[in-house]
Structure 1
Amino acid sequence: MSILANRRVLLVEDEFLILAMLCDMIADASATVVGPATTLDEALQLAKVAEMDAAILDMNLSGQWSDPVAETLGRRGIPFVFTTGYGVTERSQRFGARTVAKPYTWEALERELGQAISDAARQKPLDEEAADR
């Protein structure tokens, strides 16, 4: 069973064919697609209010960096993976985000997103302990 089973995954992608493929793959993993969002404005709105467990975030949406979405997800404590044709960049490092380079396989994306979810789950108790002090 996939680590994504029964989770809600925000999908942010501006390329229609990739978006359609990812929607199918997320459904095949027994997860629910939140969105999807194809523009920065749509993605930012969903990132602010939608109920989700994780996100797949295209780093560049029609020429606009998706940094505001990454910042919002980070503030909410929602793990995400960047997808990009640019490779690992300072953006990935700045947000502490895992990155999957395009073209990618579903296995690689699922592995990285699963690891991001696991990392966030391990970090959460530490954050809660710090808040109690």
Structure 2
Amino acid sequence: MSRLANRRILVVEDEFLIAAALCDMLEDASATVVGPATNVRDAMILLQEQEVDAAILDVNLNGAWSDPIAEELRMRRIPFIFTTGYGADERTTRFEARVVAKPYTWEEIDDQLALALLDRCQS
């Protein structure tokens, strides 16, 4: 059984094909996908309306940083990982978040998300 089975994962990604592939991978791992959201506003609405166990956030959403979402997740103690084509930066350091560089593999997403969930359990 997948480490992400029965987990509700918020997906925040502005590139349609990347979001679709990521959602497919999560569903294949028996996770429940929340979203995907393509912008900060929609992600914040989903967080208000849905239960979420963890999240995958694209750092840059059509030119807007995903920082407000990361702040909300951190405040709620919901683990998350960043995905980015830009590499790690001060955001990943500031939020003490794991980062997966694009293009990524399912194994990288699965490993880092599972570690983020484990980090929450240990803190």
What is the rounded CA distance, in whole Å, between the counterparts of 1:68 and 1:47 in structure 2? 12
Structure showing greater radius of gyration is: 1
What is the rounded CA distance, in whole Å, between the counterparts of 2:86 and 2:119 in structure 1? 24
What is the rounded CA distance, in whole Å, between the counterparts of 1:6 and 1:71 in structure 2? 25
Pairwise CA distance, 1:46 = 1.8
Query: Does the aligned pair in 2 maintain the 1:48–1:73 contact within 8 Å?
Result: no
SS of the counterpart of 2:55? strand
Q: Which residue of 2 aligns with 1:15?
A: 15
- Superposed counterparts of 1:27-46, under 5 Å: 27-46=27-46
Aligned length: 123
Q: Which residue of 1 aligns with 2:108?
A: 108
Q: Do structure 1's residue 121 and structure 2's residue 121 form an aligned pair? A: yes
Query: Does the aligned pair in 2 maintain the 1:48–1:72 contact within 8 Å?
Result: no
SS of the counterpart of 1:92? helix
Please, what TM-score do these two structures have when normalized by structure 2? Answer: 0.97
Deviates more, 1:42-51 or 1:82-91: 42-51
Unaligned runs of 5+ in 1: 124-133
Q: Deviations over 1:20-47 (max 9, x none)?
A: 1011100000000011101111012223
SS of the counterpart of 2:56? strand
Q: Do structure 1's residue 83 and structure 2's residue 83 form an aligned pair? A: yes
Pairwise CA distance, 1:49 = 4.0
- Superposed counterparts of 1:51-66, under 5 Å: 51-66=51-66
Please, what TM-score do these two structures have when normalized by structure 1? Answer: 0.90
Query: Does the aligned pair in 2 maintain the 1:59–1:84 contact within 8 Å?
Result: yes
Q: Deviations over 1:82-103 (max 9, x none)?
A: 0001111110000000000000
What is the rounded CA distance, in whole Å, between the counterparts of 1:9 and 1:17 in structure 2? 18
CA RMSD of aligned residues (A): 0.8
Q: Which residue of 1 aligns with 2:95?
A: 95
Query: Does the aligned pair in 2 maintain the 1:4–1:29 contact within 8 Å?
Result: yes
Unaligned runs of 5+ in 2: none
Deviates more, 1:43-52 or 1:99-108: 43-52
Q: Comparing both structures, which one devotes a greater share of its residues to helix?
A: 1
